[in-house]
Amino acid sequence: MMKRILVFSVVGLALILSACAPNAGATPVGGMPNNNNGNMPMGGNNQSSGMMTATPGSMMADNPEAMRMMEPISAPNAQPATETEGGQPLAFREENGVKVFELTTKAVLWPIMDGVTVTAYTYNGTVPGPMIRVSEGDQVRVIVKNELPVPTTVHWHGVEVPNAMDGVPGVTQDPIQPGGTFTYEFTAKPAGTFMYHSHYEGDIQVSAGLYAPFIIDPKEAETNPPAVDKILMLSEWRMTDGMTYAPMPMGGMEPNYFTINGKSFPATETITVKKGDRVRLRFIAIGQFIHPMHLHGFPFKIVATDGHPVPEAAQLTKDTISVAPGERYDIEFVATEAGQWMLHCHILHHTTNDNVEPGGLMMVINVVE
């Protein structure tokens, strides 16, 4: 009896497997013929079977708006940048107790390294845009004039602003049209490391350079500030045949240049500190890719995440920290040994310029006696 049950079970299993097996002549869901024993190719054309596999561009072919995202950055009247260093402090005027800043969005030709210039959308003509630095509790007014060929908005990433000031087009405000202006006004809070960036067609505009640091200092000044305090904005670019594209995490649109504060190594800044100095680095990831940043020579502590202080008892000691898109990490270390120490992304392709090493997300910490 047991032998008969076993035979029936084996036969039944064989019939089930036979029914589930791919049929060379069958047409699976979606109507594409399956000519390779059920193994769908991952990209490109399968010439041996006559199959055509959908690529990102072909999948968007019926969506003109999506296809536009994959076109070169458009700025026919862009002029060479007159400034070469981004992220510098933005001056303000004071009106009735309100700190008033002015931003102009404009397209420029921005050099990321010798011989490589990208078409960039910018705040005030630099990548990153100018740093807005205020104290907690300050009343802030930012007047934005749009000189781009396309609409835009400004989002205050991580800053606690009134809903009407949040900068989301079609939700909290109408986009700022070319030639138009918009005034943002809010109280600066909380203290910490933040940023501002476009929230209109972010795939394009943020990737093209519309981002900048926003620092809110504590209301009470630090009693023991670090000797060196640097902001490092991490981003990516795609350059092909002299044209600039918005890099995206999809086939055919991957970045081939990587920048710290708008520059690729060896054009990145060398940070010079004295032996024994306590150094604070504020990482801000603004692109669409994660970057594990590794510091040679010195362990560091994570003292703040996304603008919020980490209690001393909870501060991790590390030598590498992964900074995901939108995240901010403040780290601190003591430069205990003289020399030239490398800071770089440990996704090593991100330390190339158009696939050539060394380059990209690398910079030198120069510790002097």
Task: Tell me the pairing of strands 116-123 and 139-146.
Answer: unpaired
pLDDT digits (tens), the chain, 369 positions: 444 444 334 444 444 334 444 443 333 333 333 333 333 333 333 333 344 444 455 556 677 777 777 899 989 889 999 999 999 999 999 999 999 999 999 999 999 999 999 999 999 999 999 999 999 999 999 999 999 999 999 999 999 999 999 999 999 999 999 999 999 999 999 999 999 999 999 999 999 999 999 999 999 999 999 999 999 999 999 999 999 999 998 878 999 999 999 999 999 999 999 999 999 999 999 999 999 999 999 999 999 999 999 999 999 999 999 999 999 999 999 999 999 999 999 999 999 999 999 999 999 999 999
- Give the per-residue pLDDT at 63: 77
The burial class, CB within 10 Å (0-12 / 13-18 / 19+), for 97 is exposed
- Give the per-residue pLDDT at 62: 72
- Give the per-residue pLDDT at 357: 97
Task: Name the pTM for this structure.
Answer: 0.84
In angstroms, the CA 361 to CA 351 distance is 5
In angstroms, the CA 238 to CA 254 distance is 7
Amino acid letter, 212:
A
Tokens found for residue 253: 């649109």
- Give the per-residue pLDDT at 53: 47
Q: Which helix or strand (DSSP H or E) is residue 204 part of?
A: helix 202-205
- Give the per-residue pLDDT at 59: 53
Largest Cα–Cα separation, the chain: 97
Question: Do the beta carbons of residue 234 and residue 283 sit within 8 Å?
Answer: yes
Domains in the chain, please, with CATH? 79-217 (2.60.40.420), 228-368 (2.60.40.420)
In angstroms, the CA 25 to CA 42 distance is 20
In angstroms, the CA 344 to CA 296 distance is 9
